[in-house]
Structure 1
């Protein structure tokens, strides 16, 4: 799979919000921490700083709240925590992606013996 495939680029754009909401579902995280976790999965690798417009959109849509906390080794960190509305969006989108995947899988295997 080629990383610069336009189709893959569009898919990545569509799933970053879901990936971030999935990460902050269980615990609040700060931007660099979120980027580090995403970068562990090749599909979600981001250049430094690219995550912040997505985080702004997530907070603007009220899918996450933010708060500042002191850091032991530097400046204060802005943490992102999922909201109830964010949980609803996450569940809806995960269900939507699952439905699309299952439908494509079904089409791909149509007519094949199981």
Structure 2
């Protein structure tokens, strides 16, 4: 249970739990290189993420075989490591999307009916 003086820690735990699926969602339509993912995720209000969070996460997703990676030559500088969604990653994202919709609806109903529970 979160102490009343620590309201943000609950959000932090929720953010950590869904961030991997946000990364998978970013890869749904095309492969991207890591810095591109970091930049796009940082633009989403509330995610508050950094390279220090994303690179270890990408490594774990690769180990779990939810993403694959490959090097591609860059026109400006060294080769970049790109990440792509695997079929296992796509299945995990689809399952999470379904579960998330149900979870979100349940939480919204609980929050919207706060007066009913007093």
For residues 19 and 8 of structure 2, the distance between their equivalents in structure 1, rounded to whole angstroms, comes to 17
Q: How far apart are 1:104 and its partner, in Å? A: 1.4
For residues 9 and 41 of structure 1, the distance between their equivalents in structure 2, rounded to whole angstroms, comes to 15
What is the TM-score when the length of structure 1 is the normalising length?
0.88
Which protein has the bigger helix share?
Answer: 2
How is 1:12-31 mapped onto 2 (pairs within 5 angstroms)? 12-31=15-34
Counterpart residue number, 2:41 = 38
CA RMSD of aligned residues (A): 1.6
For residues 106 and 21 of structure 1, the distance between their equivalents in structure 2, rounded to whole angstroms, comes to 27
Is 1:99 paired with 2:102?
A: yes
Q: How far apart are 1:97 and its partner, in Å? A: 1.3
For residues 90 and 23 of structure 1, the distance between their equivalents in structure 2, rounded to whole angstroms, comes to 11
How is 1:1-114 mapped onto 2 (pairs within 5 angstroms)? 5-110=8-113
Deviates more, 1:14-23 or 1:92-101: 92-101
What is the TM-score when the length of structure 2 is the normalising length?
0.85
Q: How far apart are 1:105 and its partner, in Å? A: 1.6
Counterpart residue number, 2:4 = none
Question: Which consecutive residues of structure 2, in runs of 5 or more, have no partner in the other structure?
Answer: 1-6
Matched position secondary structure for 2:49 = coil
Which protein has the bigger strand share?
Answer: 1
Q: How far apart are 1:90 and its partner, in Å? A: 0.3
1:62-92 superposed Cα distances (whole Å, 9 cap, x missing partner): 0011110001111110000001100110011
